Structures are given as C-alpha cells and as structure tokens.
Amino acid sequence: MKTFYIKTYGCQMNKYDSEFISSIFIENGYIETEKIENATFIVINTCSVRERAESKVYSEIARLNNLIKNSNVKIGICGCVAQHLGENIINKYNNVSFIIGTEGLFRLSDVLNRVEHGEKVIDVFFSENNFATGKFKRKPGVSAFVSIMKGCNNFCSYCIVPFVRGREISRKPNEIIDEIKYLRDLGYKEITLLGQNVNSYGKNLDESINFPKFLSMVNNIDGIERIRFVTSHPKDFNEELISTMKDCEKVCEHVHLPLQSGSDRILKMMSRKYTYKEYIEKIYKLKKSINNVAVTSDFIVGFPGETLDDFNNTLNAVKEIGYHTIYAFMYSPRPGTKAAEIDDNIDKDEKKRRLSELINLQSNITYKINKSYEGKTTDVLIEGFSKKNANILMGRNRQNQIVNFVSSKLLEQGTIAQVRIREGKKNSLFGEFIN
C-alpha cells in the first residue's frame, strides 16, 4: 500500500500548499496517514522565515533517516527552503527523492511519476505566469484557505519571501470564484483569501479589478457566510477597502495589519514604506468605520540598530492601538536580504528580553479585551470540539477569537451559534450556547 505523511512548517500559504500536495498524492493512488512511521512517502513542506531554516531541514532529514530505517521509504522536500537546497541534499541523503520549490508544485504529479520510475527529481524553476495550484480536490470542511495571489514586490529589507516566492502574480478572479463555489458545494462556510500582500491583488491582471472590488464579488457568493483575508500591507490598506469591508456583510471584523516596529527610523531601515503616523491614521479610520473590529499585527524586535528608544516606540504603539493579539519574533538575518548586510548588533539576550517584555505587555492587553466580552453575545462558527474536552464545542467569532462553549442542544460543525460569554480567558473566550 502507498501511504504518505506531510509535515508542514510556516504560514497559511504553506498550509494551503500542503492541502494541494495532499490532493496530488491522493490522485496518484496514495493514502494519507497521520502516523509518520506508517508512511511510504514523507513530505516536508519547509519555511524559510525562521532562523537556520536550512540546517533545520538537514537535521530533520537526518532524524527521519534514523527513524524510518526502511530504505524503501521516500522523502520529498517542498516549500521555500527547497528552493535553495537543490542537488546538495539529493546527493547527501539516499532517501530524498524529490526537491520541489514553491513554483514547481503544479508539476508534482509528473514528479511523482518520475520518482516512481526510479528518478530523483530537482524542480526549483520559477514559472512566471503559472499559478502553482489552481483549483484542486479538497476534503469537506468548514473553513478553507484560498490563495488569490502569490509572491511579493515589496522587498522589506529583512524578508526572504520575494526571493523564494517570486514577484506578485494575481489569479484570475473567475478562477478563484469558481474554486470558492466548489468549496461552498463541499459545505465550507468560511473562506480566507490568501496572499503575501493580499490587498495589492489585481495589479498584474488585464481586467480592471482591485482587492476591494474582488472582495465584493466574493461577498455575493450564496452559501458562503464569512470572508477573511491575510496578509495586508499597511501601505496598500486604503479607504476603499475599509468602506468595502463595511458594506460587505460577510467580511469579518478582523484585520491583520503587520506594523513590525513603532519606530519610524526602524521602519525606514526595514523598507516598510509607511510611517507610524500613516499607520495609526488608517487604524483610527478602520476603528471609526467598523464597529468592534479586531486588529492583529506582527512585530520584529531587535532589528539591527534598534535602540531602547526605538523599542519603547514599539511598546507605546502596542498600548495605543490595543491589538487583540500580536505575533512577535526576534530578528535574525536571512542570507541574501538587504538587512543581512547590516551588523546584527543586538545581543541575543537583549533581544530575548525585549521580546518577552513585548509579549507580556500584549498578553495583558489581550486578557483585558477578552474580559470585556464577558456577558456579551458573539456569533461563533463551529469548527468542532475543544482539543482538551470532547464535551465542549469550539469555533471562532467574527473577530477571529477562539470561543469554547457548552450547549445542551446538539449542534453541527459549520453552524453559526450565538454564544453568551461567561469568561474571558488569557487566550480564548468561554461561554454557553443561547441560540
């Protein structure tokens, strides 16, 4: 029996790619297994955003080689790190049968075929006009990612994405709408539109379309109840988008808008193309226009040259904006980027100290926000049961907060339930079903 197991690192885009990889393996007669030791083919879908990504992939393969012992088990490497690895890794490890970069995924079926005939395949070519995945076979579910564009033209000085995912390319709107209708027919209720720079959607297309217009088109699809989108770049987040969000009842009251630093000096060094003032003005407009909107963000601490004053500006920004949550990371250089040429002069312990100060600050803010929901009702799209307790249902509200709740009524996945919040916890809400 041919079985496969996929290990996925990184962002939503990688999770989406893994769903695509899984569909291709199934199409080629493989059965998915949740236990790595039962797999005859192991796929590692890699991410290069974190530190030492390549060496981690090498050690993961070495670990797998020890674990699998069976020389018939094959390994495939996909994703951003694969783009860099090429033949080095194929030559080094016998079990590695293919390396496919982010751009070669749509050729995976052919690659699998070649591997089954004894070839070892390296496919790390960029294919300018091909959208890697397109519509593919999915399992039924509640909430789906749909990639609407790939690549990025922004070249933030610290980021490897434009090098491993290439330039921005948008998918044709009718193809995406077709995919969303297919997901709707499978029972999906919520769609998250994905792109490294999702709100610059449409710029390379012949038809006259932009992200707000496309959002309105998705909003008109019957049967889809909720629409989300990630990740927006602050420079492309404009009034047209805010007013479209307001007009489209299915678009959730949640925006992920990475600020990265509260210091204009650091933002400039990061090549982010906005100032803190420009950013906060957009946030004020957003909060004024859309009731109860949740804003979340990403931050990098310890960027080269970040002084304590710069870092304090970041802390002040977090206090001023009152994010629902943030994702914060210590800076580490990505070889090949502009920032990697600057002396990484902040000591690791100091980076850790700043990171934990920022995370502690945000934890208190998140807790306060969660507490403020106590006694209120919120609409929850049910995803399933809580991981810790099978008698408790779990879902998300429109602000993307995790809500666990009890219900005396039998409720199905995909239902939108009105839940009264009994308790705001550190990272989630707890409540009871009322309707």
**CB closer to ligand SF4 out of 337 and 378:** 337
**CB closer to ligand SF4 out of 161 and 328:** 161
Q: Taking a C-beta distance cutoff of 8 angstroms, is the pair 161, 196 a contact?
A: yes
**CB closer to ligand SF4 out of 196 and 399:** 196
Q: Is 338 in the site for ligand SF4 (CB under 6 A)?
A: no
- Residue 282 DSSP SS3: helix
Q: Is 227 in the site for ligand SF4 (CB under 6 A)?
A: no
Question: Site map for ligand SF4, 173-212, x if CB under 6 A?
Answer: -----------------------xx---------------
Q: Taking a C-beta distance cutoff of 8 angstroms, is the pair 218, 182 a contact?
A: no
Give strand pairing partners of 378. 419
CB atoms within 10 A of CB 349: 8
Give the one residue of 47, 68, 152, 215 binding ligand SF4; rule: CB under 6 A.
Answer: 152
Binding segment for ligand SF4 (CB under 6 A), chosen from 147-155, 221-229, 368-376, 426-434, is: 147-155
| Closest separation in Å from C-beta 335 to ligand SF4 | 15
Q: Is 44 in the site for ligand SF4 (CB under 6 A)?
A: no
Q: Is 233 in the site for ligand SF4 (CB under 6 A)?
A: yes
C-alpha distances out from residue 137 to 19, 27, 80, 105, Å: 9, 9, 23, 15
CA distance 112 to 115: 5
Give the one residue of 162, 166, 212, 262 binding ligand SF4; rule: CB under 6 A.
Answer: 162
Q: Is 156 in the site for ligand SF4 (CB under 6 A)?
A: yes
Q: Which residues of 275-287 are buried (b: 16+ CB within 10 A; e: fewer)?
A: ebeebbebbeebb
Binding segment for ligand SF4 (CB under 6 A), chosen from 138-146, 156-164, 342-350, 356-364, is: 156-164
Q: Is 295 in the site for ligand SF4 (CB under 6 A)?
A: no
Enclosing H/E stretch for 137: none
Name all contacts of 163-168 with Cβ < 8 Å and 24+ positions apart.
163/336, 163/337, 164/48, 164/80, 164/83, 164/84, 164/101, 164/102, 165/13, 165/80, 165/102, 165/196, 166/102, 166/103, 166/126, 166/128, 167/128, 168/196, 168/197, 168/200, 168/203, 168/204
| Closest separation in Å from C-beta 387 to ligand SF4 | 30
DSSP tag of 251: B
C-alpha distances out from residue 38 to 26, 31, 41, 70, 319, Å: 16, 10, 9, 11, 49
Q: Is 49 in the site for ligand SF4 (CB under 6 A)?
A: no
Give the one residue of 159, 266, 294, 421 binding ligand SF4; rule: CB under 6 A.
Answer: 159
C-alpha distances out from residue 50 to 287, 329, 403, Å: 32, 9, 29
Binding segment for ligand SF4 (CB under 6 A), chosen from 12-20, 37-45, 154-162, 175-183, is: 154-162
Binding segment for ligand SF4 (CB under 6 A), chosen from 125-133, 150-158, 209-217, 420-428, is: 150-158
CA distance 119 to 79: 20
| Closest separation in Å from C-beta 297 to ligand SF4 | 12
- CA 81, distance to chain mean position in Å, is 17
Q: Is 297 in the site for ligand SF4 (CB under 6 A)?
A: no
Q: Is 256 in the site for ligand SF4 (CB under 6 A)?
A: no
Give the one residue of 154, 243, 363, 415 binding ligand SF4; rule: CB under 6 A.
Answer: 154
DSSP tag of 302: S
| Closest separation in Å from C-beta 300 to ligand SF4 | 9
What separation, in Å, do the N-terminal and C-terminal C-alpha atoms of the chain show?
47
| Closest separation in Å from C-beta 357 to ligand SF4 | 23
DSSP tag of 260: B
Total number of residues that touch ligand SF4 (CB under 6 A): 10
Binding segment for ligand SF4 (CB under 6 A), chosen from 86-94, 153-161, 221-229, 249-257, is: 153-161
Q: Which residue ranges make up the site for ligand SF4 (CB under 6 A)?
A: 152, 154-156, 159, 161-162, 196-197, 233
